[in-house]
Chain A
Amino acid sequence: MALKIVKGSIDRMFDKNLQDLVRGIRNHKEDEAKYISTCIDEIKQELKQDNIAVKANAVCKLTYLQMLGYDVSWAAFNIVEVMSSSKFTYKRIGYLAASQCFHESTDVIMLTTNQIRKDLSSPNQYDTGVALTGLSCFVTPDLARDLANDIMTLMSHTKPYIRKKAVLIMYKVFLKYPESLRPAFPRLKEKLEDPDPGVQSAAVNVICELARRNPKNYLSLAPLFFKLMTSSTNNWVLIKIIKLFGALTPLEPRLGKKLIEPLTNLIHSTSAMSLLYECVNTVIAVLISLSSGMPNHSASIQVSLRSIQHYLGLLAMSKILKTHPKSVQSHKDLILQCLDDKDESIRLRALDLLYGMVSKKNLMEIVKKLMLHVDKAEGTTYRDELLTKIIDICSQSNYQYITNFEWYISILVELTRLEGTRHGHLIASQMLDVAIRVKAIRAFAVAQMATLLDNAHLLTGNTQRNGICEVLYAAAWICGEFSEHLEDPLSTLEAMLRPKVATLPGHIQAVYVQNAAKLFATVLRGQEGAPADRTVAQETSQLLIDRLPLFVQSANLEVQERASCILQLVKYIQKLQQKDVEVAEEVTALFAGELNPVAPKAQKKVPVPEGLDLDAWINEPPSESESEDEGRKPKGKAVFAKEESKHTKPRYTEVDEKELAKRREVRKAEQANNPFYIKASPSSQKVYQDGVGVEHIPVVQIDLSVPLKVPGMPMSDQYVKLEEERRQKDKADKKKKDKKKRREKGEKGRRRKGDSGPESEEDITPAHMVDITTEEMPENALPSDDDEKDPNDPHKKSSKHKKKKQKKEKEEKEKKKKKKHHHHHHHSDGAGDESVQNGNVEEEEPLPVSNQSSSIYSMCDIQGNLQDGSQVVVSVIFENKCDSFIKAMEFNVLDSLNSKLQRPEGAGPHDGLTVPFQLPPGISNEARFVFSVQSIVMPQKLKGTLTFIVKTDDSSTHEKLDFKLHFTCTSYLITTPCYSDAYAKLLESGDLKGSSLKLEGVSQPFHHLLARICFHHHFSVVERIGSCASMYSRSIQGHHVCLLVKTADQTVSIDAKCDEPGLLGNVLDEIKLTFSQC
């Protein structure tokens, strides 16, 4: 009815217009596809007509169908026809259709270039407008290139309507055709100050988007944007500008300082949440870039965070958490509340935050809350997420926050009650890990696991593919391996051999069978002690003989094999038992020995057997020319290496410089593309600069003569410190009532000796200290300090304490040495009690700073800057050894005429440099300072001071530390490989002045001696023949230093040549010093 009325009232021009189509589709809900296919047929007919109005109508309908998901790409050409209509009505429809249907691969786009150009220059601004709008959707690189100029002209159009569109579309053009950016940029910048606010905001938009991709280039615009930010009232523009600043601050910390104030003002004044959020985000970015906290400002963020929507607040908090964990921790309650939120994404965010927030103090509380949520949670995915998070939180940084492992085991056991989780294996691996590594917990763990095994039917439950049964794998293994802790091994054994076990997955059954045998051994041993129970032992054997055949029939090969093995064994034992032979001893021997975890670094610690040189070539190194010919094919010819090398050698000399350069390029490209090629770290391999092929670099064999030894404290002692900390904490917390009462039982018996002091009486918390057992190391491995470099190392903290203590003790002794001699790690005196770093020493030359204060320890390396012959970089490692917070460190050096500390522009010659970080107790950090050096001929000593503020709870004191920096001539040398031809040429050239040195009474082997020179004085061996070797090095200013080292009867003579005699003399003196010290 209604349709008729409508139809009647319309003066219908077309067969079916868009409205009819929509209506039709709505009326044909059942056979929509069929209806649409007839419509498409009609449209095809309409498109064939000449009347542009009919065509436009058809295209309009197609646009609608396209949205519904029908393919209309066949009509692309018709769309172009409609676009080129001279009437705005049709043009508008055409461009709309094009913007909806065209994409980069639409080939008719290239037909549109001229049409678009014509429209862009149309006198009617709306023609230009639709063309720009359409173009923004389907611009291709070709269109961008061809039309960039036209659009650029439009940026200065008289009408703001066009200017604004043109400015915005330029962004798309830049993306497609980056070359247009350079010529267009000045005009774009002009638009930032356009009188029309719309154009201005468009320009801000575009520049902000560009800057986000490459902030560096837009730093120069910062003042302009700063002006805009303080003057603009348009929130849309403000947000963009503030976002831009967020991208710029990491590059320019000074900008951050300037921003903080206006941003905090905005935070307090604005009512727009979006602007507030953007400000907070940028403030966070600023704080991160400044790295030094500004407590008062972060407080203001706190306030604003509460008001922002939950999700974004959490998001922002997670950003703050990275730098200012303290300020987020105070919101724990709020975050825990978010766990109750209906929205899963909010809950997940909150979980992420919790991960970063836990500490020893609050871990139990947080996990308890999480466990409650696990019970409540609906939907397995979320529950699984919770489960993994609980485990992540607890196990993070090597169980750092767990003070009571019994508690953790109970948590794990509780988690097994979860139905249908996929993470059974995760729980299982945690159980294994804890039980293996924490010795003190084993008895408790075994008891819990035995209960689990006994109640296995609860876990396996109804579904077969239940992931939780993985836990039984761990349970069975733990019970078997640590069966000596079992109270009633027999009943556990019985539980492990129940027929129901056969329904478990194969790999679990296999563990069951194996560990049943272990338990059997334990049972036997327990019973043979009491002869009255002889029958029980025999019954146990019978039990196994009865039950094992079930496993022998298993379809799983592993289970079958183990079961039949053990079955035969038990049968044999039974025979012996019947003859009253004592077998327990032998059976136990089957499983003797403790399985300990292997330390992650164990492999590294295996000492290299004497006489094995891992760096030596087994065959002759493959020659360069050959690899050129054959590419990366494996070479069978290696056997004939000798022959090869003979005739490849002369070939080198024939290749000219150009050819070499070409080859080098080729090879570099090849290496860059080869994923298997391990790129050398820049510090370990310096490029020889004389334009000679790298292929000439000889393989230098550096074997470090310094023994790897650590002051001889046993490993377990490291925990003494940890324990102290814990006791202190406990004292503070003792008033808190213990929440986990159920774990009190049995706790006294297990308390370790260390805890049984007077404190233990008042110590209510059951948190007995649990050691993570010493991990297994290969025999005669030499533990070394470089463990410390591993951030995940569980022993890191404590070993640091240890080291520090020793340092304090030795300070007096060392100080003297240090002043005399700068090679800190050469002090490996006979007692071997100096720590040695053996990983990173090739290039670095630590220079200890003699210092009086006990609160800071610093150590520095001086290293030449290869790029700039007059610069030396000094890296100083500051370590806070006191218990207080150290901040506002300022590093200053009294410049000499020759060496100057490089200070930022505008700073006076006596101003100190602020060290860009603060040091919480026990933390160390590294700062770098650049010195410019004019002459490198003489060694230099620079006096300096470090001022800092030591902040304790109630006061802060200003302290000062004097030190000396010793720039030796050696530190200006850079290990540079040299090949013998070039070396010979260098010596022949006659530019070098000679000097020599004799060392008496050197008893070390020649190769040690060479290694020492290489290592401490940055030389490389060019050639070595018998007890004679030539060595080479280069200074940062390009002086060549050549040495000829000979040895005979404990006398070493060094003939040296250098183009700078002064430098040479000093280097030789330093070498002499090195050897006089050892």
Chain B
Amino acid sequence: MQFMLLFSRQGKLRLQKWYVPLSDKERKKISRDLVQTILARKPKMCSFLEWRDLKIVYKRYASLYFCCAVEDQDNELITLEIIHRYVELLDKYFGSVCELDIIFNFEKAYFILDEFLLGGEAQETSKKNVLKAIEQADLLQEVRHHLLHSNCAFLSFCA
């Protein structure tokens, strides 16, 4: 996998992970292009498209688009499963995840992603193991839980 992007229906980037070394300028250009292309597609359209020499696999979950770029020989369907697995992981971790969880805890979203994929390859296929690793790492971090909770209160208010 070359990179993964998460963006909202409004085209705001929510998460980006690049597994190939690219300059900031290129990254920006690619994500702008892709966001535009994908948002222009109708809901019933196919989840795969060919873009430059890459294959783009995307899927929409609620208001968020998950989009991965894979190489030509890669399997599109397994990429879809990777996306789905990641969403499941987020869901398990945040407890029915919503876009705001990812905005406010974007570093957590990254940590989960990093436990799941490494260098663009799936490193752990077991959900349980990924979450266990994250929990233990979190324990190490001095997390003040009330901070999280207060956020949730705020979020529910905003929503």
Contacts and interface: CB of A to CB of B under 8 A. Distances in A.
B53 interface: no
A996 interface: no
A5 B155 CA distance: 12
B111 A92 contact: yes
Contacts of B48: 311-312, 345
Contacts of B121: 168, 171, 202, 205-206, 209
A489 interface: no
Given A103-B21, A133-B114, A236-B122, A198 B77 contact: no
Interface in B97-143: 103-104, 106-107, 110-111, 114-115, 118-119, 121-126, 129, 133, 136-137, 140-142
Interface in A65-92: 67-69, 71, 73, 88-89, 92
Contacts of B118: 132-133, 136, 165, 168-169
Interface string A184-205: 0000000000000110011001
Interface string B61-78: 000000000000101111
Identify the interface centre among B24, B44, B49: most chain A CB within 10 Å of its CB. B24
Contacts of B133: 126, 129, 161
A70 B147 CA distance: 27
A309 interface: yes
A136 B119 contact: yes
B80 interface: yes
Contact of A236 (B18, B24, B50, B125): B125
Interface in B30-66: 41-42, 44-46, 48-50
Contacts of A278: 75, 77-78
A10 B150 CA distance: 8
Nearest to A132: B118
Given A103-B22, A138-B21, A277-B77, A96 B46 contact: no
Nearest to B148: A19
Contacts of A124: 140
A105 B23 CA distance: 8
A89 B153 CA distance: 24
A342 B44 CA distance: 7
Nearest to B13: A67
Given A9-B150, A133-B118, A277-B75, A126 B107 contact: no
Nearest to B79: A274
Contact of B13 (A69, A105, A201): A69
Given A129-B137, A234-B125, A274-B77, A96 B15 contact: no
A877 interface: no
B157 A2 contact: yes
A202 B153 contact: no
A73 B123 contact: no
A845 B2 CA distance: 53
B123 A165 contact: yes
A172 interface: yes
B110 to A, nearest CB: 6
A93 interface: yes
Given A69-B28, A171-B121, A309-B46, A89 B140 contact: yes
Interface in A179-236: 197-198, 201-202, 205-206, 209, 212, 234, 236
Contacts of B104: 18-19, 22
Nearest to B28: A69
B46 A345 contact: yes
Contacts of B146: 9-10
Interface in B3-38: 13-19, 21-24, 28
B73 to A, nearest CB: 6
A126 B44 contact: no
A266 to B, nearest CB: 14
A273 B47 CA distance: 14
Interface residues of B, number: 59
Interface string A108-138: 0000000000000000101001101100111
A19 B144 CA distance: 13
B154 A2 contact: yes
Given A19-B151, A311-B46, A212 B142 contact: no
Interface string A22-59: 11000000000000000000000000000000000000
A78 B133 CA distance: 27
B16 A67 contact: yes
Contact of B75 (A164, A169, A274, A343): A274
B78 A10 contact: no
Nearest to B158: A2
A243 interface: yes
Contact of B153 (A6, A11, A73, A130): A6
A73 B141 contact: no
A63 interface: yes
A310 interface: yes
A876 B19 CA distance: 51
A508 interface: no
A236 B73 contact: no
A168 B123 CA distance: 7
B18 A345 contact: no
Nearest to A281: B75
Contacts of A1044: none
Interface string A239-280: 100010001000000000000000000000000011001100
B21 A126 contact: no
Nearest to A209: B121
A815 B46 CA distance: 62
Nearest to A66: B24
B115 to A, nearest CB: 8
A935 B108 CA distance: 76
Contacts of B150: 6, 9-10
A64 interface: yes
B28 A239 contact: no
A27 B2 CA distance: 34
Contacts of B122: 201, 205, 236
Contacts of A767: none
A73 B24 contact: yes
Contacts of B147: 10, 19
A104 interface: yes
Contacts of A566: none
B157 A312 contact: no
Contacts of B115: 133
A171 B154 contact: no
A237 B140 CA distance: 32
Nearest to B15: A67
Nearest to B113: A133
A198 B127 CA distance: 12
Nearest to A72: B24
Contact of A342 (B42, B107, B124, B126): B42
B137 A71 contact: no
A32 B81 CA distance: 36
Contacts of B49: 345
Contacts of A343: 41-42, 44-46
A278 B78 CA distance: 9
Nearest to B19: A137
Contacts of A18: 104, 107
A277 B78 CA distance: 9
A862 interface: no
B89 to A, nearest CB: 15
Contacts of B76: 277, 312
A93 B107 contact: yes
Contacts of B114: 96, 99, 130, 133
Given A19-B147, A137-B19, 17 more contacts: A18-B104, A22-B103, A67-B13, A68-B13, A71-B24, A88-B140, A103-B24, A126-B133, A126-B140, A130-B114, A133-B115, A161-B133, A165-B118, A198-B123, A201-B122, A309-B77, A342-B42
20 contacts: A2-B154, A19-B104, A67-B14, A67-B106, A73-B24, A96-B111, A129-B133, A133-B118, A137-B18, A164-B124, A169-B118, A198-B129, A209-B121, A212-B73, A236-B125, A239-B78, A312-B48, A343-B44, A343-B45, A345-B45
3 closest A-B pairs by CB: A274-B77, A136-B119, A343-B45
